[in-house]
Amino acid sequence: MLESFNAPIRACVIGSTGGIGRALVDALAASDRVETLYALSRAGAAHPSPKVQNLTFDFLNEASVSAAAEALREIGKFDLIIVATGLLQGGGIAPEKNMRALDLDALRTSFEVNTFGPALTAKYFLPLLRRDDKAVFAALSARVGSIADNRLGGWYSYRASKAALNMMLKTLSIETQRRWTNQIIIGLHPGTVDTGLSKPFQSNVPDGQLFTPAFSALKLLAVVDQVGPDDTGGLFAWDGARVPF
């Protein structure tokens, strides 16, 4: 795993207490190629591996994001940074079935978590990536954020906020590649994963298409391993297929 990176690897997972985030931490901690792993979340959670260092921060608070990045700057450059955050439902928010269900507060919250938080994180964490060899900044997006692939409608807030995230990542990749061609910025679609985010909708998932967090994490890390500079700015599914914007 992660054979395309220059070992020993220094990695960071943001949103490390979510279902996929925890699985990514577990998978990276188990890799012999990973030397140090920083797990960032609002709550923080201990991990049995001595490789894992926990930091608490709020990615919707710019001062908190800046402080976390500054603390990590002292550690040295990173090979891999993954933003594993996202919001589909919960706290009074649910995917809209039609336009009558649109609500300003729900729209605002969806964009704050799915778009603004990852964008703000990129502002402060992209400078932490190494510049002399392959380095990847990846954020969890979603296939339903694809405008070209939208055939069913509905889910306005989630679709739009993930589409906006894709645009953020694409724009960041253009700016970054002008100076640092080894840095790769991508979005990742993890598939439908058995987490709290997908629980209310799992009955509609075809057989064999509901993944465990551990399976999804390994697949996503395989995608991260296979991408190169020409892939920067793209959105990739768990199986490595490029998802159209």
Per-residue pLDDT of the chain (245 residues; tens, 9 = 90+): 899 999 999 999 999 998 999 999 999 999 999 999 999 998 877 889 999 999 999 989 999 999 999 999 988 999 999 999 999 988 788 999 999 999 999 999 999 999 999 999 999 999 999 999 999 999 999 999 999 999 999 999 999 999 999 999 999 999 999 999 999 999 999 988 876 555 555 455 555 567 899 999 999 999 999 999 999 999 999 999 999 99
Neighbours of 77 (CB within 10 A): 15
pLDDT of 211 reads 82
> Please, how many CA atoms are within 13 Å of residue 86, restricted to the half-sphere of its CB?
30
- Specify the DSSP class assigned to residue 55: E
Encoded tokens for 135: 């380095």
| Global confidence as pTM | 0.93
Residue 56 identity: T
pLDDT of 44 reads 78
What architecture is the 9-237 domain classified under in CATH?
Answer: 3-Layer(aba) Sandwich (3.40)
Quote the CA–CA distance of 112 and 118 in Å, as a whole number.
Answer: 9
Q: Where in the chain are the domains?
A: 9-237
Dihedral over Cα of 149, 105, 168, 220: its sign: negative
Residue 40 identity: L
Tokens 């987490």 belong to: 195
Encoded tokens for 139: 């954020």
